[in-house]
Copies of this chain bind each other. A is one copy, B any other.
Amino acid sequence: MQFSSPAGSLKPSYIREILSAASQPDMISMAGGLPASSLLPVDLIRTSCESLADHRELFQYGASRGYSPLITTLNKLYPEQNNPWLICNGSQQGIDLIARAFVNPGDGVVAEIPAYLGALQAFQLSGAQIYPLYHISEAGEAGSKPDLIQLESHFKTGKVKLFYAVPDFHNPTGKAWSEETRIRVSNLCRHYGVILIEDSPYRELRFSGEQCSSLTPLCPEVCISLKSFSKIGFPGIRLGAMSGPAEFIAIAERIKQATDLHTGLPQQALINALLNHPKYPDHLAHLRNSYRGRHQQLRSELIKQLGNQVQFERVEGGMFIWLKLTKGSGTNVAARALKHKLAVVPGAAFYPEGVIAEDSAIRLNFSNTEPTLIPEAVSRLANSLESSS
């Protein structure tokens, strides 16, 4: 084969493929991780769009590190980071830059399983070996949490360079780490010298419960934090940022130079305008309220229409419900759902190669489905379950 080894083994993203199917007419999509189209804050950047062409300097080459007014804004908005920033094309590029900066083929990367596929693909491209971290439920406690004994045993192999974590409303499970878990994970990473990647695209989307600490202040010397403006701003612009220890950001910047020189300036200026708009906090509050409502409505419909055919936990933010089927295969349900004009992603799609996939769940997105469509979506799902076929 003439392709490189990692490229040849890279599978197309199931989710990106299903998103094509999801654009068919009459399809209801709960497949992607898309924000609500009707809530995209385009009105908050309208003025900036209108005057964009007056800012000729935004159309000339810029600095690899990023547009400095945007960096100033990030420092103001996220004072807990207290580290240099590198602007990138979505947090996805941040993951890829980190993988290229740190991973030699065979190096270990721990990821909570099931995991965000895009991250697994980026690590796979660099030849990483994925060490799966599962969740456990303890007696007397609601919900589950990362198995920190397993995490430490991975670290003890001496082969793990990175721990890729989504502590706030994990994709695909929707779970958030407790404050205690954050402290214990941070301590383990410091102790074993493992770089902790905090990917937090959903952090600003908490709609109930208490906000916990960002990981960076808990272990600033080993933590790289990724911000995304795709879930709270505009995914179509492709903008994110990473912050971390200066020497890490410096090496990521060099790789960024070789990758695409820098992130485009007009798009950085537009995100900067959004973040500085006096109504930006209102936009975030409105987004949280809306997603709280959509989540609650989806919960109610799932309970009403599916009853004990499924199990799921209440999430406190983000975009996803992880729906466990008490019977049958998630892959089969997702395939049947497509015929009923409902797009969902089977849980098995979130397992890396070489790890046995559990095929008893599906991921439901609630952020992108208009509330009026949620009862019909769940009805189509009900028609797709094993017992109904």
Stretch at the interface among A58-66, A169-177, A282-290, A335-343: A58-66
Is A266 an interface position by the 8 A CB rule?
yes
Contact (Cβ within 8 A) B260 A93: yes
The B-contacting residues of A in range 203-259, CB under 8 angstroms, are: 230, 234-239, 251, 254-255, 257-259
Q: Say whether A10 faces chain B, with CB atoms less than 8 Å apart.
A: yes
Assembly CA distance A366 to B251 (angstroms): 32
With A and B bound together, what is the CA distance between A61 and B237 in angstroms?
Answer: 8
The answer on a CB contact under 8 Å between A53 and B59 is no
Q: Do A100 and B49 have beta carbons less than 8 Å apart?
A: no
Would you call A103 an interface residue if the criterion is a C-beta within 8 Å of the partner chain's C-beta atoms?
Answer: yes
Chain B residue nearest in CB terms to A126: B4
Closest residue on chain B to residue A13 by CB atoms: B257
Whether the pair B40, A59 counts as a contact (CB closer than 8 A) is: yes
Q: How many copies does the complex hold?
A: 2
Task: Indicate with 1 or 0, residue by residue over A1-42, a CB within 8 angstroms of chain B CB atoms.
Answer: 011111110111100100110000000000010110100101
- Whether A148 sits at the interface, judged by CB under 8 Å, is no
Tell me which of B20, B57, B237 contacts A266 (CB under 8 A).
B237
From A117-125, A309-317, A354-362, the one touching the partner chain is A117-125
With an 8 A cutoff between CB atoms, is A161 at the interface? yes
User: A171-188: contact bitstring with B at CB < 8 Å (1 yes, 0 no)?
Assistant: 000000000000000000
Expressed in whole angstroms, the Cα–Cα distance for A118 and B32 within the complex equals 35
Q: Which residues of B contact A267 (CB under 8 A)?
A: 237, 264, 266-267
Cβ-closest chain B residue relative to A264: B238
Residue on B nearest A94 in the bound complex, by CB: B260
Interface of chain A: mostly helix, strand, loop or mixed: helix
Given the interface contacts A40-B60, A53-B49, does A236 sit within 8 Å of B259 by beta carbon?
no
| Residues of chain B within 8 A of A234, CB atoms compared | 59-60
Give Cα distance in the complex from A122 to B37, angstroms: 36
Alpha-carbon separation in the docked complex, A20 to B257 (Å): 14
Structural contact, A161 and B2, CB atoms closer than 8 A: yes
Give A232 Cβ to nearest chain B Cβ, in Å: 12
Indicate if A279 sits at the interface (CB-CB under 8 A): no
Q: Are B59 and A92 in contact (CB under 8 A)?
A: no
Give 7 A-B pairs besides A4-B104, A7-B254, A238-B262 with Cβ atoms closer than 8 angstroms. Answer: A13-B258, A34-B60, A60-B235, A89-B263, A92-B258, A237-B267, A238-B263
The 12 sampled A-B contact pairs (Cβ below 8 Å) are A4-B100, A4-B102, A4-B104, A13-B257, A42-B56, A59-B235, A61-B236, A92-B258, A92-B259, A96-B259, A259-B259, A266-B266
